[in-house]
Structure 1
Amino acid sequence: MTAAPILTTARLTLRPFTLADYPAFAACLQSPRARGMGGPFDSFGAWSLFCHDVAGWALYGHGGLAITHSADGVVMGEIVLNAGPLFPEPELGWTLYDGFEGQGYATEAAAALRDWAFAQLSYPSLVSYCDADNLASQAVALRLGAVPDADAPRPDPSDLVFRHRRPA
């Protein structure tokens, strides 16, 4: 299996989650911020998703990484590669915690993980599932160069799907 990587960008470090990251993760998933992901979740649901993102690396060679600010280590959100039994095809997803939106962090983190995935894994493409009301997430997908794919299968029929193609 592929071990969880540590990726760096100009401002960010994307690293495997630690147990110390769980309280911020749970707070986000238990808040209205998680509406576009099927939430808000109760404590069981938040813990289950945290474990899913951590265990995915050992079981499938993909999973979630904490988005941290390189300068001070503050955890600002999550970037994730999802695939396997819950997703019809490999997904690139992102979630920023409250107060970190509008600064380009999601785009920067997603570009780094997307590029790593295409370099290290054999995916022909990735998709991003976006809630139809989440215009900020849709804007991130478009900034990354993803294109809408109305014909793609999706875990939630109301989601919009944006396709990221492997570079030639």
Structure 2
Amino acid sequence: MIPTLNSERLLLRAPAMHDWPDYSELMQSERAVHMGGPFSTAAAWGMFCQDVAQWALMDHGALMMEDRKSGACVGQVGINHGPLFPERELGWLVYPQAEGKGYAFEAAKTLRDWAFKIQGFETLVSYIDSDNTRSIRLAERLGAILDDDAPRPHEDDLVFRHPKP
């Protein structure tokens, strides 16, 4: 079961087909550079499907961030794992029109707290491109601490470890 989580302004819900166009546009744009992109349509589709499939395989995955007031999807937050990630990773992406409004912080905090309290996770990390200063600041705002000794999917990634609340 994919949960629906609520925060002050957001509904965190399962991805749906109507989310695909905005997700695809972001992943194929230069804005995806800090996530290893831009990606082809096929690669973006595989990532979108992986975000959903992880729920069935690992009891965690991605949730779309929906503004409860407007109903607009403003981005995605998720917990990634499996063969591509050495540890469970808390990640986020925000669509351009929603950037700078605190949505990523609100969504990441909500999903992080769910992971620790409901799923019983002992730790989460965020893998962040060293040039992605906005995500680095967000990880630090969430209380994550740089962990230079942690394994990482790409040697240039920084690893921020989220403490259990």
TM-score w.r.t. the length of structure 1 is 0.96
Pair 1:144 & 2:123 matched: no
In 2, distance between residues paired with 1:99 and 1:73? 14
In 1, distance between residues paired with 2:91 and 2:29? 18
Aligned to 2:74: 76
Aligned to 1:155: 153
Q: How many residues are treated as equivalent by the alignment? A: 165
1:32-74 deviation per Cα after TM superposition (whole angstroms, max 9, x unaligned): 1111111000000000000000111011111111011001110
1:120-166 deviation per Cα after TM superposition (whole angstroms, max 9, x unaligned): 22321100011111100011101100001011111011011100022
Aligned to 2:119: 121
Among 132, 153, 158, the alignment partner of 1:134 is 132
Gaps of 5+ in 1: none
Pair 1:109 & 2:107 matched: yes
Aligned to 2:59: 61
Counterpart amino acid of residue 103 in structure 2 = Y
Give the % identical residues.
51
In 2, distance between residues paired with 1:97 and 1:135? 17
In 2, distance between residues paired with 1:5 and 1:141? 23
Gaps of 5+ in 2: none
Aligned to 1:34: 32
In 2, distance between residues paired with 1:115 and 1:80? 12
Pair 1:19 & 2:28 matched: no
Runs of 4+ in 1 over 2 A off after TM superposition: none
1:95-126 deviation per Cα after TM superposition (whole angstroms, max 9, x unaligned): 00112111111000000000000012232110
The root-mean-square deviation of aligned C-alpha atoms, in Å, is 0.8
Counterpart amino acid of residue 75 in structure 1 = C
Counterpart amino acid of residue 64 in structure 2 = A
